[in-house]
């Protein structure tokens, strides 16, 4: 991987156990924040991530730079990140420590061109740690981390009132599954108005593993409700095509149908232009981009045209 393109303040962390098994990680992490290794850069806690994390960070940073510089003479801008984490990550397979999405944006040379950034997480520890890091970077006058749960829309909207009005907003929602309710996306859009949206979605992990059972197996009622809430479409699981694909165990077409329905619902909110790029070579996690402006889509496709591996993206 060519990592010379962006500076994530990469450093080896000697405290990382490296390649620890999942059951071990469950014992030594809390909300993916490691209880053993602290940052070799600043001594604060770090989040344990998979080797794919760099790709997500790379694409977001590329788009942030193009977005801000492309719009700076037309709009005042805000940045909002949901599920921000503590700001620094350790890649579990090799112990390499890097800036996460929040700090990669805060460290971007164009960050001072925005009006305000709000980083949201439901983990008070992550919020406190990130605020310390933002302050140490001298970014506290622009950026603040706040406690925010995407399942608590009222609280989320109250926090977003801190943002300057009449701005163009870049919103990044970064879970690792398909658990963010569509109603939350709709509320953010209604409250902020002009937004470009990037969502991390586990279409190849969470959804692919469980959606067939969610369709056919009554014991998967919790998963069914989660996907229904995520999609924002109550009749999806009763659709003739859905039942047909599930009964045939055609996971690929079932997931594709789900994703297309999600895009249709985004279009109803005004996000007529969408695109999606995998953030793992084996297509497990995806970044889904949505905007109401074709210029935004042009910016996005420019940002993801060349992968972190210095390979051109092929649109198939």
Spatial neighbors of 171 by CB under 8 A, at least 6 apart, are 80, 81, 82, 188, 192, 195, 196, 197, 198
Dist. CA 210–CA 79, nearest whole Å: 33
pLDDT of 38-93, one tens digit each? 999 999 999 999 888 899 999 999 999 999 999 999 999 999 999 999 999 999 98
The percentage of residues in the chain with a pLDDT greater than 70, rounded to a whole number, is 95
Kindly report the average pLDDT of the chain as a whole number: 92
- Burial code of 69-94, b = ≥16 C-beta within 10 A, e = fewer? eebeeeebbbbbbbbbbbbbbbbbee
pLDDT at position 28 is: 87
pLDDT of 7-25, one tens digit each? 899 999 999 999 888 888 8
Q: Is 245 helix (H, G, I), strand (E, B) or coil?
A: helix
Per mean pLDDT, which range of 32-46, 149-163, 212-226, 279-293 is the poorest? 279-293
pLDDT at position 30 is: 85
Per mean pLDDT, which range of 99-103, 106-110, 207-211, 305-309 is the poorest? 305-309
Widest Cα–Cα separation across the chain? 56
Q: For residue 1, what pLDDT band results from cuts at 50, 70 and 90?
A: very low
- Across the range 161-169, mean pLDDT stands at 95
pLDDT at position 3 is: 46
In this predicted structure, the answer to whether residue 161 has a pLDDT above a threshold of 70 is: yes
- Across the range 112-134, mean pLDDT stands at 97
Question: What domains can be seen in the chain, in order of their start residue?
Answer: 53-84+113-303 (3.40.50.150)
Bigger pLDDT: 176 vs 214: 214
In this predicted structure, the answer to whether residue 315 has a pLDDT above a threshold of 60 is: no
CA distances from 136 to 38, 41, 44, 81, 257 (A): 17, 12, 12, 19, 46
What stretches of the chain adopt beta strand conformation (E)? 11-12, 29-30, 33-38, 45-49, 77-82, 88-91, 96-99, 116-121, 143-147, 168-173, 195-201, 273-278, 286-291
Spatial neighbors of 264 by CB under 8 A, at least 6 apart, are none
Spatial neighbors of 73 by CB under 8 A, at least 6 apart, are none
Dist. CA 279–CA 57, nearest whole Å: 9
pLDDT at position 210 is: 92
Dist. CA 267–CA 308, nearest whole Å: 29
Q: Is 190 helix (H, G, I), strand (E, B) or coil?
A: helix
In this predicted structure, the answer to whether residue 2 has a pLDDT above a threshold of 60 is: no
Q: How many residues does the chain have?
A: 316
Per mean pLDDT, which range of 31-45, 128-142, 271-285, 292-306 is the poorest? 271-285
pLDDT at position 314 is: 44
Q: Is the separation of the CB atoms in 147 and 230 below 8 Å?
A: no
- Across the range 142-171, mean pLDDT stands at 95
Spatial neighbors of 238 by CB under 8 A, at least 6 apart, are none
Dist. CA 288–CA 201, nearest whole Å: 7
- Across the range 143-156, mean pLDDT stands at 95
Q: What is the 3-state secondary structure (H, E, C) of 20-79?
A: CCHHHHHHHEECCEEEEEECCCCCCEEEEECCCHHHHHHHHHHHHHHHHHHHCCCCCEEE
């Amino acid at each position: 991987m060519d990592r010379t393109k962006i500076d994530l303040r990469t450093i080896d962390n000697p405290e990382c156990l490296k390649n620890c098994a999942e059951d071990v990680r469950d014992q030594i992490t809390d909300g993916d924040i490691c209880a053993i290794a602290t940052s070799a850069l600043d001594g604060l806690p770090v989040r344990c991530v998979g080797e794919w994390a760099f790709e997500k960070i790379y694409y977001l940073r590329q788009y942030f730079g193009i977005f801000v510089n492309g719009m700076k003479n037309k709009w005042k801008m805000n940045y909002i990140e949901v599920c921000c984490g503590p700001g620094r990550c350790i890649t579990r397979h090799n112990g390499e420590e890097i800036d996460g999405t929040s700090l990669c944006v805060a460290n971007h040379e164009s960050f001072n061109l925005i009006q305000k950034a709000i980083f949201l997480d439901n983990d008070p520890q992550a919020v406190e740690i990130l605020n310390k890091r933002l302050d140490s970077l001298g970014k506290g006058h622009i950026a603040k981390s706040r406690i925010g749960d995407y399942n608590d829309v009222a609280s989320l909207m109250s926090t977003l009132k801190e943002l300057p009005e009449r701005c163009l907003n870049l919103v990044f929602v970064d879970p690792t599954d398909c658990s963010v309710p569509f109603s939350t996306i709709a509320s953010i859009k209604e409250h902020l108005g002009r937004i470009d949206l990037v969502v991390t979605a586990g279409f190849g992990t969470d959804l692919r593993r469980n959606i067939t059972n969610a369709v056919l197996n009554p014991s998967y009622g919790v998963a069914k409700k989660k996907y229904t809430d995520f999609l924002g479409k109550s009749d999806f699981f009763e659709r003739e095509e859905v039942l047909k694909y599930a009964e045939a165990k055609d996971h690929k077409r079932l997931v594709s149908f789900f994703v297309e329905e999600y895009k249709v619902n985004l279009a109803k909110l005004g996000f007529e232009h969408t695109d999606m790029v995998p953030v793992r070579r084996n297509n497990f996690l995806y970044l889904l981009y949505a905007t109401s402006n074709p210029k935004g889509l042009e910016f996005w496709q420019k940002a993801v045209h060349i992968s972190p591996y210095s390979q051109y993206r092929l649109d198939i």
